[in-house]
Structure 1
Amino acid sequence: MPARRAVTGRSQEPRKRFAEELRSLRAERGLTLRKLGEVVGWDWSLFSKMENGETLGGPEVVQALDQYYGTPKLLLTLWELAMGDPAQFKEQYRRYMALEAEAISLWHYAPYLLPGLLQTRAYVQAVLERGKFKGDELTCQIEARLGRRALLEGENATSFRTILSETVLRTKLPVRAQWEEQLEHLLAMGERRNVTIQVVLHSAGLHTLGGTDVMFLKPTDGRTVAWVETSYSGQVVEETVAVDRLQLRYDSVRDLALSPDDSRKFIIQTLEEASCEPST
């Protein structure tokens, strides 16, 4: 059993503490970053970014490090704390926004909420209000999210594909007219040459993404980066192996989804059903 680690003098900020522990453990073994990459089986440059606080990495690589260092769940626990830190989420989201702004193509899976690029003002406001935004901050956030839609407009518009879980289209806005407006907006966006919308039905059964909201981005340098988000945190994933694994899952869900034409028909059907319901 490894000796109990002293915590006196350690950083109390989750992200810094995680990076600090990674550096300390490697130093105790007398390993270079390249040697660590060889023995653990991951790209050494990822470990460099993790130790410098540039990225947190993914759970798989953290578990591999725990196993190698003989620190059962220590690093994974620190990683989870860093992932849940509000400051970490804001920093990661800023990084994502910068990547989104320069991406030449985007492809996305939505398990519950519509992607921000396709949301109407009423939808944006409903989502943000449930996130406890109020007053001037709410107004600012609404305008910022609506401003992102410019990515899909103009001659050099970004190519965007989204696969929507049927749950997304069954989760309505409380005001019928606003929900109809949102569905009509989806149909209009789906007519754009650079936008593709698909729906994966409940009848398709279980699949490999489940509740994972993920956006893949391809910047101008040709690599692929992923943004994985939950209701309380988000992470930019840049390590090639992790991105490839996510993309294989995405491709398997795409195989289950309706074609763009059939998806459009399903959205029209959903709109017709909404129009027949009592007004609220």
Structure 2
Amino acid sequence: MVGMPQAKKKDAAPPTVQYFAAVLRILREHAGLTQDELGKLMNYTGSAVSAVETCAKPPTDEFIEAAEKALDASGLLRAAIGFLRLDRYPVHFQGFVQLEQEAVSVSSYCTQLIDGLLQTKEYAREVLVHAFPPLEEQEIADLTEARMDRKALLDRKPGAVVSVILEEAALRRQIGGPEVMRAQYAYLIECAARPNIVIQVMPMSRAGHAGLQGPMTLIETHDDTPMAYMESNGKSMLLSKPDEVGVLARRYAMIRSQALGPDESVCFIEQLMGEL
């Protein structure tokens, strides 16, 4: 099969990737280096440099750091990392990701799946494998890595406070089978032990509760602006009006009060893990 022409590859790439490719080429040529010479300085092949400059492949964080050092770019290349990461997410999700990474607190109520912040790589990949319309293998790989990138929020200093309420149905859905779920349960238990993460379970035995109207995520930023995010079938809504966000915040507080407590929730997850 004939490869895609270089011009078409560039046209198909996101604008941020195209811009990075152009800046890399300009800096390389200014330094008087060939692609092979730059690759050698970076411990990459010349073809790897070519792939980035022609937009055949987006640069990884590691590639960018290596190019930054090899070209002594004064932070010019490194500054692109955050923007390039955004390109890995669906357009409707990019605004939320920016807010999430800047948040001081994130509170989510999940009904169908475990929150993306708390997914293992294997679980996340299996979710994407079952997307419809089906995704290409490279898309699955890129989106999986993008979801893992979001975990930087959990390790940031100071770390954000994360509260997650999971419906029992989301925990019982055997995404990827017993092995994947066993590792996922173990990771949830590990996360729940962290001082900045609270995980609660809404059991099916709680037949009626305040969350029946659907999932939500509440975000609080450094300027104390509360916002709410909701998503369904590839469409999203970001709310910032105080009255609208206030209603959802009060609803979330009620859901939290109706769910199992943190310790009970960990015991519940351990019990599910033991059933596998």
What's the TM-score bracket when you normalise by the shorter of the two chains? 0.5 to 0.7
Aligned-partner residue type, residue 109 of structure 1: Y
- 2:271 maps to a residue whose letter is Q
Greater relative contact order structure (CA < 8 Å, 6+ sep): 1
Instruction: Confirm or deny: 8 A CA contact 1:213 1:230 kept in the other structure.
Output: no
Alignment of 1:53-202 (within 5 A): 90-131=90-131, 132-202=134-204
Q: Is the 8 A contact 1:198 1:258 kept in 2?
A: yes
Q: Deviations over 1:55-80 (max 9, x none)?
A: xxxxxxxxxxxxxxxxxxxxxxxxxx
SS at match of 1:164: strand
* 2:112 partner letter: Y
Q: Is the 8 A contact 2:166 2:199 kept in 1?
A: yes
| Per-residue deviation, 1:229 | 1.3
Cα displacement string for residues 167-212 of structure 1 (whole angstroms, at most 9, x for unaligned residues): 1111112421111000001000111111000011111122232252
Letter in 1 for 2:222: T
Q: Secondary structure at the match of 1:104?
A: strand
Offset of residue 232 of structure 1 = 3.1
Residue 64 of structure 1: aligned partner: none
User: What displacement does 1:119 show?
Assistant: 0.3
In 2, the alpha carbon distance for the partners of 1:265 and 1:163 equals 15
Residue 141 of structure 1 and its aligned partner are, at CA, apart by: 0.7
After superposing the two structures, state which structure 1 stretch, 166-175 or 264-273, moved more. 166-175
Which residues of structure 2 form unaligned runs of 5+? 1-88
CA distance, structure 2, for counterparts of residue 252 and residue 95 of structure 1: 27
Shift of 1:122: 1.1
Would you say the 8 A contact 2:107–2:162 is kept in 1? Answer: yes
Any conservation in 1 of the 2:127–2:175 contact (CA below 8 Å)?
Answer: no
Give the C-alpha shift of residue 251 in structure 1. 1.1
User: What is the CA-CA distance between 1:164 and the residue it aligns to?
Assistant: 0.6
Aligned length, in residue pairs: 186
Give yes or no for contact 2:160–2:196 (8 Å, CA) kept in 1.
yes
- What RMSD, in angstroms, separates the aligned Cα atoms of the two structures? 1.5
Measured against aligned partners, the alpha-carbon deviations of 1:134-168 in whole angstroms (never above 9, x if no partner) come to 22111111111011111101442211000111111
CA distance in 1, matches of 2:213, 2:251: 12
CA distance in 1, matches of 2:269, 2:95: 33
Contact 2:211 2:255 in 1 (8 A): yes
Q: Distance in 1 between matches of 2:242 and 2:92?
A: 18
Give the Cα–Cα distance (whole angstroms) in 1 for the partners of residues 157 and 176 of structure 2: 36
Aligned residue number for residue 259 of structure 2: 257
Counterparts of 1:211 and 1:183 in 2: how far apart (Å)? 26
CA–CA distance in structure 1, aligned partners of residues 237 and 157 of structure 2: 31
Change (3 A) 1:127 1:201: same
Aligned pair partner of 1:237 in 236, 239, 260 = 239
Corresponding residue of 1:205: 207
SS of residue paired to 2:218: strand
Equivalent positions of 1:35-50 (< 5 A) are: none
Q: Percent of counterpart pairs with the same letter?
A: 29
Distance in 2, matches of 1:91 and 1:145, equals 14
Letter in 2 for 1:264: V
Uncovered stretches (5+) of structure 1, i.e. residues with no partner: 1-88, 275-280
Amino acid corresponding to residue 113 of structure 1 in structure 2: L
Counterpart residue type for residue 193 of structure 2: E
Query: How does the TM-score come out when normalised to structure 2?
Result: 0.65
Helix, strand or coil for the counterpart of 1:203?
A: coil
Q: 1:98-152 CA distances to partner (integer Å, 9 max, x unpaired)?
A: 1111111111100110110000111111111112222211111111101111110
Distance 1:95-1:186 versus aligned 2 partners, 3 A rule: same
Moved more, 152-161 or 258-267: 152-161
